[in-house]
Amino acid sequence: MKHSLSTRRRVAAAIVCVIAIVGVFVVRLVDIQVVRASALVDDSLTKTSSEGTIYAPRGSIVDTNGTKLAGSVTLFDVTISPKDVDEFSRTGEDGNKTTVTVEQAMAEIGAVTGQSKEELLAIVDGALAADPSSNFAYLIKGVEYDTYQALLELKKQGIWWIYPKQTSGRTYPNGAIAGGVIGYVGSDNAGLGGLELSENSCLTGTNGQEAYQRSKDGVALPGTTTITKEPEPGGELKLTLDADLNWYMQQLVASQVEAQGAAWGTITVTEAKTGKIRAIAEAPSLDPNNITATASDDRRSYVFQNRFEPGSVFKPLTAASLIDAGLATPASQVIADYRYKPSNGASIKDALPHERQQLTLAGVLQTSSNTGTSQLGEKLSPEKRYNYLDAFGIGHKSSIDFPGEQQGTLHPWQEWDNQTYYTTMFGQGVDVTGIELAGAYQALANLGEKLPLQLIEGCTYPDGTVTDVPAEGKPQRVVSEEAALQTLGMMETVVTEGFWSEELEIPGYRVAAKSGTGEQIIGGILQDTFYSSMAGAFPADDPEYVVTVTLKDPLYKRSSAAAAPVFKEAVLQVIKKYGIPPSTTPGADYPGFY
């Protein structure tokens, strides 16, 4: 009886204990599955879930015909978790396990990426020195698909602490063609120079986002990736440039720069009646595919960012101003000696000694006489002459607003000293950029009306929205149509009767042009090197295109003779490219002497 009671008590106690234990588990289960379920799920997801960026493609840059000048490519960045870098075991094909040291692992990675193991170890050591718990550092950026696949294979073989991830890179199919104008991007794919910089807002897309579950070694689990935000690609930037024409001009100017030992050279081609720039060729030119291969001083657009003294290519601007003001005609006469010493104490001389010449204004341009230009030009007050040059765009940036664009120097007329009063008539004591010179000649070629120059046609987004379309520029009258036509006629006789007629004439075509040899003054000291230039328009009776050529420091033909053959070849190529028919009207006939 006593034994039976004791047994019942033990059973009851055991039942109570079991119920208590079950109760604890039930409470715990309710707490986990109900009370704290949401918090615990969120906490577990933070340990197993990851988010990644889906990089939006940067928009393309295309020429006026849609030819791609810059585009995006898929690349991969490789990161590492420095705190997790350690030796590990690897099972070979024979089933045997071997220990892979950190140095050996780094050597395997470097064999794929092209880096030394010492370089890779330094990256890890540097990250840990800055933060002993660091779990992120870049090993290398912008590797291609084959490298990415090889790194994934190493990850499968045990190097789990490296993380290749997709990103976006930039490619330039035409290399250095218009490279200084197109510009380049940095490692983050953002614009750093040229149009890549100025049009960054057009070209840059909006990155997307993805979420996925990952394994303990950081690899995304198949089937768990979801896109939480779609990427939005950047816009397509369309330029006025013609890639084929630009390619030819690039070869042409590069060849002459090399042949003449020049520091650099440029060619521009502009539509006279629209202001659209069809070619900007520069040598040396930046190759955006390989920025470091280009010297830092050459990572620019010389046309927009270099100033130079234009020399005698300014004389047509002076002639047009005189005619417009009613102070001269192509037949106006002047006696031009080698030297001219006006009463204000200035001293003017021509490039080469010569006997006294009886020249017309047309002859002044044909012989490029500084003394003749000075005597005729002094009829125009300095204030009015300044106003004409200002209206031609001298001393002003273009409407293009190119990054780092310089503006020429045209001092206020009140600051002109006795010598500058005269030298500005023939392009000395003043400097310009290539784009300013192109703009001034566009005004002359467009029969006296200046238009804003255009380099961009617009930015088109994937949804069809078009922005950045240049507003239709209102023509600004600089000189009268008659003054422009007469000046173009005199420039035509420069081609047929001037110094370089044999180099410049194109049978069947009327071409108006003027050469220029600009002096260089550095630190107040006149240098023995020059800028050689040639600028003109054609057909002379109704110009469609303007071509300008500039060479800095040609060593073998140290005058405008260095630019003349390049100008002719450039004109010939434009004629072929756009199918310009031969002239059907007789050329200008302005006698140069009386």
pLDDT of residue 559: 72
Out of 6-20, 183-197, 209-223, 428-442, give the one with best mean pLDDT. Answer: 428-442
The confidence score (pLDDT) of residue 38 equals 64
Question: Which tokens sit at 247?
Answer: 């390619």
Both 150 and 285 in one domain: the answer is no
CA distance 560 to 541: 24
Query: Structure tokens of 521?
Result: 């003054």
- Per-residue pLDDT reduced to its tens digit, 107-166: 999 999 999 999 999 999 999 999 998 988 999 988 888 999 999 999 989 999 998 887
Among the candidates 200, 217, 239, a domain finishes at 239
pLDDT at res. 37:
60
Nearest to 200 by CA among 173, 231, 235: 235
CA 514/CA 511 separation, integer angstroms: 10
pLDDT in tens, 351-386: 899 999 999 999 999 999 999 999 999 999 999 999
Q: Say if residue 220 is in the same domain as residue 284.
A: no
3-state secondary structure at position 19: helix
**Residue 354 near residue 421, CB atoms below 8 Å:** no
Integer Cα distance of 368 and 484 in angstroms = 18
Name which of 484, 301, 269 is nearest 392 in CA terms: 484
Q: Is residue 591 part of a domain?
A: no
546 pLDDT tier (thresholds 50, 70, 90): very high
Give tens-digit pLDDT for 328-358: 999 999 999 999 999 999 999 998 999 999 9
> Is pLDDT of 569 > 90?
yes
pTM (predicted TM-score): 0.82
Give me the CATH number covering residue 470: 3.40.710.10
What is the band of 54 on the pLDDT scale with cuts at 50, 70, 90? confident
pLDDT band per the 50, 70, 90 thresholds, residue 551: very high
Question: Per-residue pLDDT for 47 more than 70?
Answer: no
* Banded pLDDT at 3 (limits 50, 70, 90): low
C-beta separation of 348 from 340 below 8 A: yes
* Pair 483, 399 in one domain: yes
Instruction: Answer yes or no: do 283 and 181 share one domain.
Output: no
Instruction: Report the pLDDT value the prediction gives residue 560, as an integer from 0 to 100.
Output: 77
Residue 586 included in any domain: no
**Quick one: pLDDT at residue 41?**
54
Same domain membership, residue 412 and residue 293 = yes
Domain boundary among 204, 222, 239: 239
Statement: residue 541 has pLDDT above 80:
yes
Burial of 364 per CB tally in 10 Å (0-12, 13-18, 19+): buried
Number of domains in the chain: 2
Q: In three state form, how does the secondary structure of 52-84 look?
A: EEECCCCCCEECCCCCEEEEEEEEEEEEECHHH
pLDDT at residue 43 tops 60:
no
pLDDT above 90 as % of the chain: 70
Boundaries of domain holding 509: 243-578
- Taking the C-alpha atoms of residue 348 and residue 336, their distance in angstroms, rounded to an integer, is 11
Give the number of other Cβ atoms within 10 Å of residue 388's Cβ: 19
**How would residue 271 be classed by pLDDT, with cut points 50, 70 and 90?**
very high
Percent of the chain's residues with pLDDT above 70: 90
Based on its alpha-carbon atoms, the radius of gyration of the chain, rounded to whole angstroms, reads 36
Q: Quick check: 207 pLDDT over 90?
A: no
Q: Verify that 427 and 565 share a domain, yes or no.
A: yes
Q: What is the pLDDT confidence band of residue 2, given thresholds at 50, 70 and 90?
A: low
By CB atoms closer than 10 A (0-12, 13-18, 19+), residue 487 is buried
The pLDDT score that the predictor gives to residue 232 is 87
Tell me the mean pLDDT in the region 556-573.
89
Q: Is residue 589 part of a domain?
A: no
The two structure tokens encoding residue 377: 């030009």
Residue 213: per-residue pLDDT: 73
Rounded mean pLDDT of the chain?
Answer: 90
Q: Which conformational region is residue 186 in: left (phi greater than 0), alpha (psi within -120 to 50 degrees), or beta? A: beta
Distance between CA atoms of 57 and 321, rounded to whole angstroms? 51
Are 376 and 254 part of one and the same domain? yes
Dump strand ranges (E) for 194-326.
208-213, 226-229, 236-239, 264-271, 277-283, 307-308
Q: Pull the structure tokens for residue 129.
A: 């020195």
pLDDT at 338: 97
Contacts 24+ apart (CB under 8 A), 37-43: none
Give the pLDDT band (50/70/90) at residue 36: low
- Are residues 518 and 428 in contact, defined by beta-carbon separation less than 8 angstroms? yes
Residues 232, 328, single domain; the answer is: no
Comparing 19 with 503, the larger pLDDT belongs to: 503
Residues 487 and 371 in one domain: yes
pLDDT at 555: 84
Given a cut of 80, whether residue 180 has pLDDT beyond it is: yes
Q: Do 286 and 373 belong to one domain?
A: yes
Dihedral pair phi/psi, residue 123, rounded to 5° = -65, -45
Q: pLDDT tens for residues 211-253?
A: 867 655 555 555 666 778 888 889 999 999 999 999 999 999 9
Residue 185's CATH number: 3.90.1310.10
Looking at residue 468, its pLDDT comes to 87
Residues 103 and 175 occupy one common structural domain: yes
Are residues 139 and 58 part of one domain?
A: yes
